[in-house]
Structure 1
Amino acid sequence: MTRATTPPPLLLQLQSPESLSSQTAGLRALKNDIIGHDHRKEAWIGWGIVPVLSHVLASRLSGDKRFAELELNGAGAGATQQGLQRTGRTVEDEACVQAIIIVGSLAQGGPSFLSPILSSEIVSILLRILSSPDCPLSLSLPILRTLNAIADRLPLQSQTQWRKDTRLADLLFSREHIDSLARILAQDYTSPSAQASIELVAALVGNLCTEETHKATLSASGVLDALAGKVASFVVAQGFVVPGAEEHVDAPGALGALPAPAPPSAKLAPILRAISVIVEHSKGRAEHFLSSPGILTVFPKQLPPEFAPQDIKKAPWGLTYLSGSAVPRHGSGQNALDGLLPSVPVAQQTGKPSTSAANFPPLASTTSHHHHRRHSHSYPTPFSLLEDSSADDDEDVIVPWLLYIVRAETGMLRLMAARLLTVLHRLGFTKKHRVSMFSYLLIPILIRMLDKDYEMDGPEETDSCSGLLSATQQLKAEAPAVLATLVIDDQELQKHAVDGGAIKRLSQLLKESYNPIQENTRSIWHADASPTLAADALPQCTLGPPGYSPVVCHIMRYRENILKALAALVPFKDEYRKAVCENGVVPYIIDSLKPRPSDPPADTTTWKNTAADGNPTPTLLAACGAARMLTRSVSILRTSLIDAGVASPLFVLIKHPDIEVQIAATSVICNLVLDFSPMKEAIISADILPTLCEHAHSPDTKLRIESLWALKHVAYSSANDVKIKIIDALEPQWLKQIIMQDPTRAALFRRDEMESAGTAALGMGTANSAGEQVDLLNPMEDVQDAEDDFKMSDTMPSSKMSLEMFLPDVRRRRKLVMIGDLDQTTQARQDDIAVQEQTFDLLRNLICGTGAPEMIDYLFKTIGQDALLDALANKLRPRSIHLAHRPLASSSSRLLQVPPEILVSVTYVIIHLAASVPRHRKLLVAHDDLLRNLLGYFNHPQRDVRANCVWVMINLAHEDDQTDRPGCRDRSLRLKSLGVMDRLAALEDDADLDVRERTKTAIHLLNLHAAS
């Protein structure tokens, strides 16, 4: 918005200054004029102050010396020199500082002022100044404050769906500027300014780092190691360095000396937040953090116990041994801090606590007390969670330290310690008995934070400089998300949370999130009643959309995290889902499924916080997660969800412009179209099928999987006309293409590429003993190389830590990159397998039921009889792949196992084909390879595969009626000639009862009909 008034003379002074002194004086006058006056800021934006500020800042980069002579001889030289003596800055720096402060003041005017700033080159110039080698602390500090002011207001800016604006993050975390962040974080807490700059950088990382690419870059560039170094400084200051660590500071990978202690005024919370943001969802990044020089220095791995010299005896033959009374001077570093934690009951398999203490493990094998972890899939689960964790043998000491911090500290530090602890637990870096400790020590603290009247115990502190929200508001908004992450896949933790009243408290909070907003909001005041918008105004001279208030965004974030916590508590227990309904929050969950209107209001101060106002994308995703968990209950699906009208908002969300919302809504619809659901017919009649079929063609694999899953449920027990609609909408040629793909080869090609690049040390294991593909990372460390790789190139003085000490060495960086690449490859392969699995499951449901023969004929007609049967046979075909770049002495090929989920899905399709009419059975028996390939799986380790193989034989040997007797005899003889009887005989003593019983039936039928 521009104003129909004459620009003030001060603008001309800034545009064409006589000297740097006059320019600096003008900037200082402008700063004093606009601070705290939003209407003046608006006027200056319209007059074009942003390009002027951009020019002032750019002049420092270009080293503009136009005013050098004028400064020496000009009238303003005396005043300038007095000011410079007071601040210790050069004249160029002083002008630059004033311009930076003005930019920060404009940003604090609200989201509408971000548009002209981000439309200019100001942010890029600020980062270039920050990254320059000669940038003094007097400049870097105001730059960081200004960047934080912009970052804090970015979420307020967007009008409709509040999409993430990554422009600032893309610049900040680019390779050009990220080294400057690492440099700032790597410095010691030598002064209040250094301390402030460290905390401001940490706040930027915690606030802006949302993309996986940014997290990977921050890890590889040394930022994560520098943050770990800051944690080490706090450990030193608190006196928690593991006993004996001082004698191992020169060990490979350590810093070479203990870091300087952090001052009492330094804040640990923003450091922990930044680390949590970077490492979450990535086991590789978490390992990188735990192996960082700072952590290894204060918490070294498995220190050997030390004994007094008099306890060490020498035998006559020269070997040493310990005396019977020998006691180590210090215990293993792994348990050094556990003594500071209280003992808690250890949960047994029955789910009841025992009287045993956590610090006194039972005499029985500890494996009997491990908790089986199931995944609810209400949130994306990192693939690394599927690995068997070795944390019981090698838990880092930082785990009990974080738990101690949670119990000993207050406020945001307590919550951030709980967040990082929860992230490490989710990634498998905690011992199994920690579950009981979390149940008794961590969950009650998190539930207490849900109290309506919860206030910070200590002085209020925020981990950013925004001042937009109080520390109590920040804590309340984030506590439910930490609770959700902690309990999501653990039934014991869920039980303790529910017993502690979490569902009741969260339900009340969700209801209160729809209370009318009580805040004094007013639009910018104008002297003239009708400000005018210049038609030719540049973006840098025009205010952006008004955005939303911090309170509104806080409520949306609060609501989102409450929904996440409710969803995380109820995935396994129907009684918990019923408790949610009994607390009366189902209508509020349905209201949370309603998106923002496509046409946003011109004046966001009219926000009433009702269901009609809608919700941003993150809240929609969380609401879909909560709704999906509730739809797991048949009774709730038939009553509460129908009464609340869950289907209508989902019909809107499935066509939402954000693909993540489409995926989340489709996952809920998957449960609504189950055969027992009363909504199945309504969804079919609402013409949702074309949308699901269209999404099945999406380039986004997750959306394809969820859409195929929903179509699979729709097809089950539906009439043939519905099934034909699905086939036609999906397109038979597309179905043919999907079922003929071979996802198992992609992983091997990827392995071949990795091995050719010299990365054979990181293995992607082949099939395990259960026949499952295990292409997980198994780093095989070369001990001899590791010692050299972890040594620092230069010996640093103990009093001064430098950035080089926090830069990942070549080996650690290579390992980090390899883990990231491997995770992506493995996830892509899993997705490809899931698409095929759901497609074959869909085919299975299309050809079962009363009209199955007609549907089989329709598939043969549209896809092709030979194409379909060949695809089934090909999935069962044993295959091997040549491994290039192998030594001649080793095997040049490897057997490639078919994923068991594909085997189960394919054999189910064959079962239903064999259950059809005799002519379809004849086609199966007559195929050259199908049954021959099937014979190789009668001894498969997975029970379902073996059972399905036997079921195929039973169906093929089944006689429909007397007219089928000759055909049945021919089929039985054919099966016997293939050697089926020998395979069945081997299953008569199978470990599984169902397999044994079905085998008896198959043998009886084959002998009966072959002899007739």
Structure 2
Amino acid sequence: MTRASIPPLLLQLQSADTLSAQAAALRSLKNETIGHDQRKEAWIRWGIIPVLANILAARQHTGKAAATTELNGGAKLRYPASEQDEACLQAVIILGSLAQGGAAFLSPIFSSGILSTLLSIISSPDCPSFFVLPILRTLNNIADRLPLQSHPQSSKDTRLADLLFSGEHIGFLARILGQDYGNHQDQAAIEISASLVGKLCVEETHKAVLAECGVLDALAVKVASFIVAQGFVFPGAEMHVQVTGALGILPPPAPPGAKLAPILRAITVIIEHSKWRAEHFLSSPGIITVFPRQVPEFAPTDIKKGPWGATYLSGSAVPRHAGASPLEHLLPPVPLSQNKSPANTPNFPPLGHHGTSHRRHSQSFPTPMSVYDNPSSEDEENPVVPWLLYIIRAESGMVRLMAARLVTVLFRLGLTKKSRASMLGYLLIPILIRMLDKDYEMTGDDGVQYGGLIPSTERLREEAPFVLATLVIDDLELQRHAVDGSVIKRLSQLLKETYNPVQEVVRPMWHAESEENMDEGSDSLPAECRMGPPGFSSVHCHVMRYRENILKALAALVPFKDEYRKAVCENGVVPYIIDSLKPCSDDQPADTSAPKNTATHGNPTPTLLAACGAARMLTRSVSVLRTSLIDAGVATPLFVLIKHPDIEVQIAATQVICNLALDFSPMKEAIISADILPTLCEHAHSPSTKLCIESLWALKHVAYNSTNDVKVKIIDGLGPGWIKQIITQDPTIALAKRGIDEDMDSNTSVGMSRANSAGEKVDLLNPMENASGRDEDMKMADSMPPSKMSLDMFLPDATRRRKLALHGDLDQTTQARQDDIAVQEQTFDLIRNIICGPGASEMIDHLFKEIGQDLVLDSLADKLRPRSIQLPSIQVPHRRESPAHRALNVPAEILVSVTYVIIHIAAGLPWHRQLLVSHRDLLRYLMGYFNHNHRDVRTNCVWVVINLTYQDDTSDREGCRERAFRLRAMGVMDRLASLEDDPDLDVRERTKTAQDMVNTLTHA
């Protein structure tokens, strides 16, 4: 574009000598551009964005005096009071109109920095009311049109979220959400603000900030307003509004036209994946006010009166609980669950009376119906849960789906009664399955403000599979309910339909000049005057998200049952899953009117991740892996994705390859021949601990039963120096620091637990149980003084804020410690598989040569070494007597891995066994673990004794006797005697073998 082509309207706007002339020019520009994408693009190239940015920036510096009427207690300003405000308002509306043009218009908007100015205006305490809705709508338009992460080189666009949820601007969200439902403008502002949170809040840091700055509490008050409007406030709640932590008054009821769906969505995205944020929501002032805590009462006969008038309780007084929530009576009874989740049920019940059940399952009478007994202390539940279940049954459309999503999150975080699984199976799953139907009708508007890009019915159908996936994951009973409802067949058909070409009726953009001339001229324009990539259409983005959620649902349904995985294959959906593993290419056609969604167009990053998850679940089946997945060519796209620029895709692809590398898999040789090992070794050095762990896990499977040349290639690829660094690290360093931190905090009592990483895969060749961890709740009083409805109450008090921040820090510390332990665990497991199988002795020698014989044995001994940490008394002043030292237990998973390595070295040549026995510390430290609480540690200790005293041939008899005498002198017979009555059968049987072998050698 040349300067001569600049229209007179822009020159008039730039040269306006009065604010009224400027405002008039902006109104003319607004009328000219709204609804005309060609004109919008031309105005972008003419430089309208910098002009609008200058107008808004001028108002930002001089606008404090414009709203004095509103600040001084006058009526809220609904219309501009000055020409400058009118000009700014028109600029905001024009910006929102430009954003409606699509993803291509977002690039100049972000490049100009105009959004920071916009947020500064609305974040200002003196922002007039007439600016609020236009600015929110503009932000909402941009949020709706953020492009999918489609190209391999592109990253997730969080620029708007980073601005919106920054410490500088986030306060206005709490202010808007904290205001009462007044007129229509206030109601719309509340709903759009909640919609922005629901659309943009995906990062963990943003969720934590929203909880700490008061947005979550403000949203909770909005939920309380709906509860008041529906008449579900607990009887007598008005008598408890002044208790600690309550609002001080009942919140005003929500008006009839208010939308609940965006409020529930915003709450859900903030609290998901965090039990602490969920508890923060359930204990917020709004929820406590309408659902006050029920305090146990005593019978009048238990209360005695003393001679001086004081009352006391009789010796036989028993507190009477208030009983079930009144909301329970609005829900129908459902059959009790007869199955337990596989996450909580072992494959085989323990022997003895502890494993017997007192209930007969072969009774002829029907299954007992659930009666809502008084919840025990460990099974308490917030009344929000039954209220949400009532909403699910009573409402429809997006309100129903968002209520289902929120109650699902609470259920997954363990904040519902255990008996809720049955109700969710009988009530919620059929509703979610029904939402998948094409003829499902949604009444009313969802209130989520999607900008009219896709119908609300399509948006609901898009999200229903995701809620279903979240609900049934890791729960065999709920998976059975869903499969009995033929959900696999429905989802399979829907996945196939997402590959039907979508021909959109889009008129091609007309330009006065040729495309070549425009492209040549645009290179010299500044970034705020250049159009960005066109991106995908709204319909195509909807189909991609739909495909992603369907894949997640299929993956969530089949992790435990082989028959479910076979059902997926029988429905002919495996080729479509493989097609979903193909990424978008860099040379996508710019013509958005061409048919899309076919396999040749590829998939954006979120869909790739979901497809990897579905493929990984199917690889858990031996038969499916050997037939359907091989026939569909699952390996080819995975070998491409493992080198994808996005690290999350690399991790997901590596997880699938990990299962393909199992010894029974016919794909193991393909992995080796495709030269994937160097890539896996390179990823093991990645700064991403998750990618390192998954790569080591895959290498561990490749190494098992492989030839020695493959094992040598793995060692060389990882590098002896890197292996030395990993195996010599102290696994208790982070735990030691954590021990000090816990003692410094007198209010914390948090158990350490290990993430169930092993449960993510089927490690059939190397079965190892996870160390059990305790999940202790934090006991901390919520001491929030009574307050009235004001903005101040939405900022959590010091105690609640500290609780959120503390658990955020602890979660990060715990995850870092778990990751460090997992890396070391997988490295020792890899070494274990390298030195076992055919040619094991040669690999032991090679390992000693490359890494160092003394270093290997010293590192093994160091992992078994007892540890303690000194706790200075000054750091624990709340205790009368502070112990000088605290024992630090080596993580059980490290002990299991290390003892397995010792077992295989002891299974090598006689001189390998002699090295173990002659080491100054190794066996001495091992003696302290014969009575460890983890069965695998105990079993492995006994196996070490067996292997050390096993006689290969007659030439090794004297060596065996010498080792047996050495073990006896260390007290091994006493250790073995203590295991004769071990609760584990395998430990007892191995103990008998070890005792016989030692006794035979030492008494011969």
Q: Same fold by TM-score, threshold 0.5 exceeded?
A: yes
Q: Deviations over 1:151-175 (max 9, x none)?
A: 1101358655763211111110000
Residue 592 to residue 253, structure 1, CA distance change in 2 (3 Å): same
Q: Deviations over 1:64-97 (max 9, x none)?
A: 89999xxxxxxxxxxxxxxx99945332221111
Q: Which residue in the other structure is 1:273 paired with? A: 265
Is residue 771–residue 942 contact of structure 1 (8 Å, CA) maintained in 2? no
Q: Which residue in the other structure is 1:345 paired with? A: 335
Is residue 563–residue 623 contact of structure 1 (8 Å, CA) maintained in 2? yes
Q: Deviations over 1:656-709 (max 9, x none)?
A: 000000000000011101000011111100000000010111111110111000
Correspondence for 1:223 among 210, 215, 230: 215
Residue 771 to residue 50, structure 1, CA distance change in 2 (3 Å): closer
Once residues 49 and 394 of structure 2 are traced to their aligned partners in structure 1, the CA distance between those partners, rounded to angstroms, is: 48
Q: How many residues align?
A: 949
Aligned partner of residue 966 in structure 1, secondary structure: helix
Correspondence for 1:356 among 368, 387, 390: 368
Once residues 327 and 620 of structure 1 are traced to their aligned partners in structure 2, the CA distance between those partners, rounded to angstroms, is: 55
Residue type of the alignment partner of 1:644: A
Aligned partner of residue 887 in structure 2, secondary structure: strand
Q: Which residue in the other structure is 1:435 paired with? A: 421
Q: Which residue in the other structure is 2:705 paired with? A: 717
Correspondence for 1:733 among 721, 724, 727: 721
Residue 173 to residue 45, structure 1, CA distance change in 2 (3 Å): same
Q: Deviations over 1:277-298 (max 9, x none)?
A: 0000011111111111111111
The alignment status of 1:998 with 2:983, answered yes or no, reads no
Deviation of 1:635 after TM superposition, in Å, equals 0.4
Aligned partner of residue 129 in structure 1, secondary structure: helix
Once residues 154 and 471 of structure 2 are traced to their aligned partners in structure 1, the CA distance between those partners, rounded to angstroms, is: 27
Residue 889 to residue 3, structure 1, CA distance change in 2 (3 Å): same
Deviation of 1:455 after TM superposition, in Å, equals 2.3
Q: TM-score, normalised by structure 2?
A: 0.91
1:905-916 to 2 correspondences below 5 Å:
905-916=897-908
The alignment status of 1:856 with 2:850, answered yes or no, reads no
Once residues 774 and 721 of structure 2 are traced to their aligned partners in structure 1, the CA distance between those partners, rounded to angstroms, is: 31
Q: Which residue in the other structure is 1:75 paired with? A: none
The alignment status of 1:550 with 2:549, answered yes or no, reads no
Residue 973 to residue 33, structure 1, CA distance change in 2 (3 Å): same
Q: Deviations over 1:935-992 (max 9, x none)?
A: 1111111211111111110110111111111111111111111111111111122222
1:797-816 to 2 correspondences below 5 Å:
801-816=789-804
The alignment status of 1:517 with 2:502, answered yes or no, reads yes
Deviation of 1:12 after TM superposition, in Å, equals 1.5
Correspondence for 1:692 among 680, 699, 703: 680
Q: Which residue in the other structure is 2:763 paired with? A: none
1:758-797 to 2 correspondences below 5 Å:
758-765=744-751, 774=773, 778-781=777-780, 789-792=783-786, 795-796=787-788
Deviation of 1:463 after TM superposition, in Å, equals 0.3
Larger mean CA deviation between 472-481 and 604-613 belongs to: 604-613
Q: Deviations over 1:244-273 (max 9, x none)?
A: 211111111100010011001000100000
Q: Which residue in the other structure is 1:661 paired with? A: 649
Correspondence for 2:188 among 187, 190, 196: 196
Residue 515 to residue 5, structure 1, CA distance change in 2 (3 Å): farther
Q: Which residue in the other structure is 2:351 paired with? A: none
Deviation of 1:48 after TM superposition, in Å, equals 1.0
Q: Which residue in the other structure is 1:403 paired with? A: 389
The alignment status of 1:208 with 2:207, answered yes or no, reads no
Larger mean CA deviation between 988-997 and 923-932 belongs to: 988-997
Q: Deviations over 1:890-942 (max 9, x none)?
A: 10211111111111111111111111110100001101111111111111112
Aligned partner of residue 189 in structure 1, secondary structure: coil
Q: Deviations over 1:284-321 (max 9, x none)?
A: 111111111111111122244598x9x99867977578
Residue 95 to residue 396, structure 1, CA distance change in 2 (3 Å): same
The alignment status of 1:249 with 2:241, answered yes or no, reads yes
Residue type of the alignment partner of 2:414: G
Aligned partner of residue 905 in structure 2, secondary structure: helix
1:118-129 to 2 correspondences below 5 Å:
118-129=110-121
Is residue 503–residue 596 contact of structure 2 (8 Å, CA) maintained in 1? no
Is residue 157–residue 547 contact of structure 1 (8 Å, CA) maintained in 2? no
Residue type of the alignment partner of 2:173: L
Residue 652 to residue 771, structure 1, CA distance change in 2 (3 Å): closer
Is residue 156–residue 550 contact of structure 1 (8 Å, CA) maintained in 2? no
Once residues 187 and 833 of structure 2 are traced to their aligned partners in structure 1, the CA distance between those partners, rounded to angstroms, is: 63
1:290-301 to 2 correspondences below 5 Å:
290-301=282-293
Deviation of 1:442 after TM superposition, in Å, equals 0.5
Q: Deviations over 1:127-153 (max 9, x none)?
A: 000011111111111000000001110
Is residue 612–residue 652 contact of structure 2 (8 Å, CA) maintained in 1? yes
**CA-atom RMSD in angstroms:** 2.6
Deviation of 1:217 after TM superposition, in Å, equals 0.5
Q: Which residue in the other structure is 2:564 paired with? A: 576
Q: Which residue in the other structure is 2:434 paired with? A: 448
Residue type of the alignment partner of 2:717: A
Larger mean CA deviation between 333-342 and 58-67 belongs to: 58-67
The alignment status of 1:631 with 2:619, answered yes or no, reads yes
Once residues 303 and 898 of structure 2 are traced to their aligned partners in structure 1, the CA distance between those partners, rounded to angstroms, is: 67
Q: Which residue in the other structure is 2:764 paired with? A: none
Is residue 296–residue 319 contact of structure 2 (8 Å, CA) maintained in 1? no
The alignment status of 1:34 with 2:33, answered yes or no, reads yes
Q: Which residue in the other structure is 2:91 paired with? A: 99
Residue type of the alignment partner of 2:587: D
Larger mean CA deviation between 342-351 and 821-830 belongs to: 342-351
Residue 261 to residue 304, structure 1, CA distance change in 2 (3 Å): farther
Larger mean CA deviation between 262-271 and 1000-1009 belongs to: 1000-1009
Once residues 594 and 65 of structure 1 are traced to their aligned partners in structure 2, the CA distance between those partners, rounded to angstroms, is: 54
Aligned partner of residue 868 in structure 2, secondary structure: strand
Q: Which residue in the other structure is 1:893 paired with? A: 885
The alignment status of 1:461 with 2:474, answered yes or no, reads no
Residue 598 to residue 157, structure 1, CA distance change in 2 (3 Å): closer
Residue type of the alignment partner of 1:680: K
Residue type of the alignment partner of 2:202: T
Residue 857 to residue 197, structure 1, CA distance change in 2 (3 Å): same
Q: Which residue in the other structure is 1:824 paired with? A: 812
Deviation of 1:356 after TM superposition, in Å, equals 1.9
Is residue 731–residue 891 contact of structure 2 (8 Å, CA) maintained in 1? no
Residue 360 to residue 165, structure 1, CA distance change in 2 (3 Å): closer
Is residue 78–residue 129 contact of structure 2 (8 Å, CA) maintained in 1? no
Q: TM-score, normalised by structure 1?
A: 0.90
Is residue 913–residue 921 contact of structure 1 (8 Å, CA) maintained in 2? yes
Is residue 588–residue 601 contact of structure 2 (8 Å, CA) maintained in 1? no
Once residues 507 and 948 of structure 2 are traced to their aligned partners in structure 1, the CA distance between those partners, rounded to angstroms, is: 77
Residue 1009 to residue 116, structure 1, CA distance change in 2 (3 Å): same
Q: Deviations over 1:10-30 (max 9, x none)?
A: 112211212111111110010
Q: Which residue in the other structure is 1:672 paired with? A: 660
Once residues 569 and 770 of structure 2 are traced to their aligned partners in structure 1, the CA distance between those partners, rounded to angstroms, is: 42
Is residue 19–residue 67 contact of structure 1 (8 Å, CA) maintained in 2? no
Residue 418 to residue 306, structure 1, CA distance change in 2 (3 Å): farther
Is residue 348–residue 354 contact of structure 1 (8 Å, CA) maintained in 2? no
Q: Deviations over 1:784-829 (max 9, x none)?
A: xx5xx3114xx43xxxx21111110000000100000001111111
The alignment status of 1:477 with 2:471, answered yes or no, reads no
Q: Which residue in the other structure is 2:143 paired with? A: 151
Once residues 493 and 238 of structure 1 are traced to their aligned partners in structure 2, the CA distance between those partners, rounded to angstroms, is: 30
Residue 103 to residue 231, structure 1, CA distance change in 2 (3 Å): same
Aligned partner of residue 356 in structure 1, secondary structure: coil
Residue type of the alignment partner of 1:18: D
Q: Deviations over 1:356-414 (max 9, x none)?
A: 2222559xxx9xxxxxxxxxxxxxxxxxxxxxxx9843210000000110110000000
Residue 196 to residue 127, structure 1, CA distance change in 2 (3 Å): same
Deviation of 1:1009 after TM superposition, in Å, equals 1.4
